[in-house]
Structure 1
Amino acid sequence: MKYLNPKADLTFKRIFGEHPDLVISLLNALLPLKEGEEISEIEYLPSEIVPDNPLRKYSIVDVRCRDMKGRLFLVEMQMLWSPEFRERVLFNASKAYVRQPNVGEGYELLQPVYSLNLVNEVFEPTLEGYYHHYAMVHIEHTDHIIDGLQLIFVELPKFTPHTYSEKRMHVLWLRFLTEINESTRVVPKELLETPEITKALTVLEESAFTDEELAGYEHFWDGISVERTLYNSAIRESIAVGKAEGIAEGKAEGRAEGIAVGKAEGLAEGEAKSKYLIAANMKKSGVDPLIIAQCTGLPIDEIEHL
Structure 2
Amino acid sequence: MNLNYLDPKIDLVFQRVFSRADLLKDFLNAVLPLDAPIESLAYLPAEQAPQVPGMRFSIVDVKCHDQGGQVFVVKLQLLWSAAHFARIPFSGAQAIVSQRSSGSSYQPLCPVYSVTVLNDVFEKDPDEKDCWLHHYKITQLADHDKVLKGLQFVILELPKFTRRTRAEKQATALWLRFLRETGEPGFVPDEALLSYAPVADAVKLTEFKGYSAAEIESYQKCLDALRNEKELPARR
Alignment TM-score, normalising by the size of structure 2? 0.87
- Residues 1:97 and 1:174: Cα distance change in structure 2 (over 3 Å): same
Which digits, 9 at most, give the CA deviation of each residue in 1:211-253, with x for residues without a partner?
A: 01001111101000101101xx236xxxxxxxxxxxxxxxxxx
1:180 to 179, 182, 202: 182
Q: 1:161, 1:175 within 8 Å by CA — same for their partners in 2?
A: no
Identify the residue that residue 11 of structure 1 maps to in structure 2.
13
Q: Which amino acid aligns with 1:26?
A: F
Percent identical pairs in the alignment equals 39
Q: Does 1:112 align with 2:111?
A: yes
Q: Distance in 2 between matches of 1:198 and 1:134?
A: 31
Q: Which amino acid aligns with 2:41?
A: I
Q: Which structure shows the higher helix fraction?
A: 1
Q: Which amino acid aligns with 2:219?
A: Y
Identify the residue that residue 143 of structure 1 maps to in structure 2.
145
- Residues 1:102 and 1:70: Cα distance change in structure 2 (over 3 Å): farther
Q: Does 1:82 align with 2:81?
A: yes
Which digits, 9 at most, give the CA deviation of each residue in 1:167-219, with x for residues without a partner?
A: 22111111111122142443122111100001001101000000010011111
Q: Distance in 1 between matches of 2:47 and 2:84?
A: 16
Q: Using the TM superposition, give the Cα deviation of residue 102 of structure 1 relative to its aligned residue in structure 2, in angstroms.
A: 6.8
Q: Distance in 2 between matches of 1:81 and 1:214?
A: 25
Q: 1:44, 1:65 within 8 Å by CA — same for their partners in 2?
A: yes
Structure 1: where are the runs of 5+ without partners? 236-270, 272-306
Q: 1:103, 1:110 within 8 Å by CA — same for their partners in 2?
A: no
Q: Distance in 2 between matches of 1:226 and 1:156?
A: 21
Q: Which has the higher contact order (CA 8 A, sep 6+)?
A: 2
How many residues are matched? 227
Structure 2: where are the runs of 5+ without partners? none
Q: Distance in 1 between matches of 2:219 and 2:121?
A: 24
Q: Distance in 2 between matches of 1:32 and 1:19?
A: 21
